[in-house]
Amino acid sequence: MKVLVIGGGGREHALAWKIRQSRLVDELFCSPGNAGVAEIADCPPLASSDIDAVADFVARHGIDLTVVGPEAPLCAGIADRILARGRAVFGPVAAAARLEGSKAFSKQFMTRHGIPTAAYEIFDDPEAALAHVETRALPMVVKADGLAAGKGVFVCDTRDQAREAVHRLMIQKAFSGAGRTVVIEDCLVGREASFFAITDGERIIPLVTCQDYKRVFDGDRGPNTGGMGCYSPATHMTRDVVLEVLERIVGPTIRGIGREGAEYRGVLYVGLMLTDDGPKVLEYNCRFGDPETQTILPRLASDLVPLLRAAANGNLAGVRAEWRREASVCVTLTSQGYPGHYQKGKKITGVEQFGGRHDLIVFHAGTRSGPGGEIRTTGGRVLNVVALGPTIAEARRKAYDAVSRIHFPGMHYRKDIAENVAPAANAGQEGSAR
């Protein structure tokens, strides 16, 4: 079969890497891809924002399955366009992708379907939002309604911080139209967790647990980023917690969006806060996480393609996911200045020595090939170094050892990913549709 992956980051490199291993796949395309992806797939020059051009390519080349990585084209309706041309796509239609595309919609959706989340108010007038800031209990969270590349959420400990967040989003329009409407909500207390499940719109297959790191500096300091690292399994996500999340959150979400006329086929990624009152939803995402995908997929022992194809075709019955017992740790290497301004074009060395290993993989994100065949930086998040090991501690040691042998000017990374994590009782897992 022919498979097309849409996107060009570390998540898409991981997806392409795992899909390339499938005996079911004869031809693999990834657009736009990056320097790492180009080694294992054809990379046609398609802009993911040009959803009609992508859909035309899918129809013209007889692509059997399109796997959409980023959220923006999903929210723009790329799955709808591909389905209209009679081709299969892994990723929800635009009406279902609103769970990520609009924070206001998702909060109202959770209220309608009794899904636990923080108390909130929604504003499209900046003066009303600023007035509300003066009365809401501290701390509070201010969120841009629309897509902001993971940077539109502000946890505010003071009213000055909340005023600044509202001003930045609604008046300065720091994220263009994404901040035209804002959600102001209570700040939940507990431990954050990420949960992923593949669904065909009815049946659900949970993936192994993982925990990411959002802040740019050690000790969870500095601004939020798209993700600075991750480990799997998340030892605080016990079996009882997973079952509760499936019963109280994931199941009602998939059934609820279906009752509202938008069948959800793809992966549902739920950001959670594990509170004293049980797990509550921080946010929905309608796609695989980044760097969670890079962390999880090396642990998948079975073929990924049957999972993706069955979900896209609406029939996960009888499909299973089998997982390795090893733990995994991912360390993200970024350009100096990320998530703010950074320079591009820095030469990367040391990556070539890790090719062909199953227990240590370097997934490219913001990279390109230079005129002399060298690899150069082209993004904020540049590389993801992922290691497998019998324990989280051993995987962490291997990952950081590999990081020490990779270099580019201004390279930055957190040094505390998976530090002091309690050992997992059983890292292995099997999952079938439920």
* Ranges 254-258, 300-304, 317-321: which has the least confidence: 317-321
Q: How many CA atoms lie within 13 A of 227 on its CB side?
A: 25
Query: Nearest CA to 162 among 145, 185, 180?
Result: 185
pLDDT level of residue 350 (50, 70, 90 thresholds): very high
pTM score: 0.94
Instruction: Report cis status (omega within 30 of 0) of the bond before 70.
Output: no
Does pLDDT of 434 surpass 70?
Answer: no
What is the average pLDDT value for the chain, to the nearest integer? Answer: 95
How many C-alpha atoms does 100 have within 13 Å on its Cβ side? Answer: 29
**Quick one: the chain helix, strand, coil %, rounded to 5?**
30, 30, 40
Q: How confident is the model at residue 356, as a pLDDT? A: 80
- The predicted pLDDT at position 113 comes to 98
Residue 1 is given by DSSP the state -
Three-state SS annotation for 402-419: HHCCCECCCCECCCCCCC
In this prediction, residue 198 carries a pLDDT of: 98
DSSP string, 272-295: EEEETTEEEEEEEESS--TTHHHH
What six digits make up the tokens of 395?
A: 């995987």
Query: Which 3 state secondary structure label does DSSP give 61?
Result: coil
Share of the chain above pLDDT 90, in %: 91
Per DSSP, helices labelled H in 134-205 are 159-166
Residue 151 has pLDDT above 90, yes or no: no
Q: How far apart are CA 31 and CA 6, in angstroms?
A: 5
Q: How confident is the model at residue 117 (pLDDT cuts 50, 70, 90)?
A: very high
Q: State how beta strands 27-32 and 360-364 pair.
A: unpaired
pLDDT value at 430 more than 90:
no
Residue 247, classified by CB atoms within 10 Å of its CB into exposed (0-12), middle (13-18) or buried (19+), is exposed
pLDDT (tens digit per residue) in 188-231? 999 999 999 999 999 999 999 999 999 999 999 998 888 999 99
How many residues belong to the chain?
434
Please report, as a single letter, which amino acid is at residue 172: Q
Question: Which residues is 194 bridged to in the sheet?
Answer: 210, 271
CB 30 within 8 A of CB 70: no
Q: If you average pLDDT over residues 386-395, what whole number do you get?
A: 97
The count of other CB atoms within 10 Å of the CB of residue 318 is 10
Minimal CA–CA distance to 10: which of 36, 28, 31? Answer: 36
Which domains does the chain show, CATH number per domain? 2-91 (3.40.50.20), 119-186 (3.30.1490.20), 189-324 (3.30.470.20), 326-417 (3.90.600.10)
Counting Cα atoms < 13 Å in the Cβ hemisphere of 116 gives 16
Q: How far is CA 190 from CA 209, 280, 290, in A?
A: 17, 10, 22
DSSP, collapsed to helix, strand or coil, labels residue 247 as helix
217 pairs with which residues across the strands?
A: 221
pLDDT of residue 369: 94
Give residue 86's pLDDT band: very low, low, confident or very high (50, 70, 90): very high
Q: Within 13 A of 15's CA, how many CA atoms are on the CB side?
A: 35
Q: What is the pLDDT of residue 257?
A: 97
Among the residues of 338-391, which ranges form H helices? none
Contact 254, 284 (CB under 8 A): no
pLDDT at 426: 45
Q: At what angle do helices 251-259 and 94-101 cross, to 10 degrees?
A: 130
Write the pLDDT tens digit of every residue in 1-57.
999 999 999 999 999 999 999 999 999 999 999 999 999 999 999 988 999 999 999
Chain centroid, CA 37 distance in Å: 18
Find the range with the poorest average confidence among 131-140, 243-252, 424-433. Answer: 424-433
Q: CA-based diameter of the chain, in Å? A: 60
Task: With cut-offs at 50, 70 and 90, classify the pLDDT of residue 431.
Answer: low
**Model confidence band, residue 337 (pLDDT cutoffs 50, 70, 90):** very high
What residues have CB less than 8 Å from 44, skipping those under 6 apart? 29, 31, 57
For residue 149, what pLDDT band results from cuts at 50, 70 and 90? confident
In whole angstroms, what is the distance from residue 189 CA to residue 103 CA? 20
Structure tokens at 400: 């950081």
Please give the average per-residue pLDDT across 268-293, as a whole number: 96
pLDDT of residue 427: 43
Average pLDDT, integer, range 300-313? 98
- Interatomic CA distance for residues 395 and 58, integer angstroms: 39
